[in-house]
Amino acid sequence: MNADGTAEPVSGRRVAVVTLLVVALAGGATLVAAHGNHVSANPQVADDDLVVESAFVSEDGHLVVHRDDGGRPGEPVGHAGVEQGYHENVRVTLDAGVDAETTLWVVLHEDDGDGDGEFDPTDDPPLESFGSVAGRQVSVRPGDQPVYVSAPGQSAQRVDGGTVRVDRVAAAEDGRVEIRAVDGGRPGGVVGSTAVSAGVNENVTVDVDESFVAEQPEYFGVYVVLATAEGDVVDVGGEPVHSRLSLRTGDDGSDGGGADGVDVVTATTDDAGGAGDGDESGGVLALPGFGVVVALVAVVALLAAARLRED
């Protein structure tokens, strides 16, 4: 307001800053919303179960494994009930075992709400995410023991002293888990590795080359790849047995999912876990990428405030 009581003209700078802030907030909301009805599953060797790395479902429903039908989900071959919220390392028992290397679909389905908790493909249709089926394809081949890498997380894990933690590595024989840089959307050079034993290894910590970390932006991703003791990558369907891990640099005093004092625990018996046994967030949307959105929005808000004060 001017001294004479008339309205102060709105400067072009102020309009631009406010517009930028609104766009950033809207974009952040879109990115966060993208994590609703989300499934993550990686190439693996399956015995009688398929391991789903993580899932977020916006309502109580079913996690259903389908055969592939020309690039679309086909016949259901296994399912597990999931409550609304976030789940990790969900094991879905397959009605018919995998008898050859194949592609399967992991899809989230509605529940008809009749109270029986049973999956019915007629009454429980697939859930959607941005107009598409909430699911993904996964390469699978049969084996006597499960083989997979699982590195889920609801936020980017802070690299603590060059060490990262991998939630679970299942190996058919003694081998190595490798941290690899991202190279054109594929696993690149090895920047850290450690030995794993045959069986299910939990909370595996890996030292990562500190010079590599120093070259990364605050938020970055790496591949976690399973290899044999001789260093040959274990593959399924032409893809390495792997997971993606979201990381962040720096030490802001928060744990950020860091690896302080975490040791390798090897379980050589049956694979642990089951439907809904993983960490659940009670429906709070805090999946990988959410922290990035919050950080970006906060930075834009601070810049906007500073520019407005200049006017």
Residues of the chain with pLDDT > 90: what percent?
61
Q: Tell me what pLDDT residue 274 has.
A: 40
The CATH number for 203's domain is 2.60.40
Please calculate the CA angle 50-54-55 and round it to the nearest 5 degrees: 100
Q: Is residue 291 part of a domain?
A: no
| Cα gap 195→235, rounded to integer Å | 18
CB 142 within 8 A of CB 170: no
Residues of the chain with pLDDT > 70: what percent?
68
- Domain range for 234 is 147-270
Higher pLDDT pick, 264 / 237: 237
pLDDT tier at 36, thresholds 50, 70, 90: confident
Min mean pLDDT across 129-138, 192-201, 282-291 is at: 282-291
Give the total number of structural domains in the chain: 1
pLDDT in tens, 244-292: 999 999 754 444 343 433 334 444 333 444 433 333 322 222 333 333 3
Given a cut of 70, whether residue 168 has pLDDT beyond it is yes
Q: Is residue 15 part of a domain?
A: no
pLDDT tier at 5, thresholds 50, 70, 90: low
pLDDT tier at 153, thresholds 50, 70, 90: confident
Q: Is residue 252 part of a domain?
A: yes
pTM above 0.75, yes or no: no
CB under 8 Å to 294, separation ≥6 — which residues?
28
Closest by CA to 243, choosing from 305, 166, 165, is 166
Min mean pLDDT across 92-96, 143-147, 226-230, 260-264 is at: 260-264
Q: Tell me what pLDDT residue 262 has.
A: 35
Higher pLDDT pick, 296 / 203: 203
Please list, residue by residue across 228-244, b when 16 or more beta carbons sit within 10 angstroms of its beta carbon and e when fewer do: eeeeebbebeeebbbbb
Q: Is residue 219 part of a domain?
A: yes
Q: Is residue 58 part of a domain?
A: no
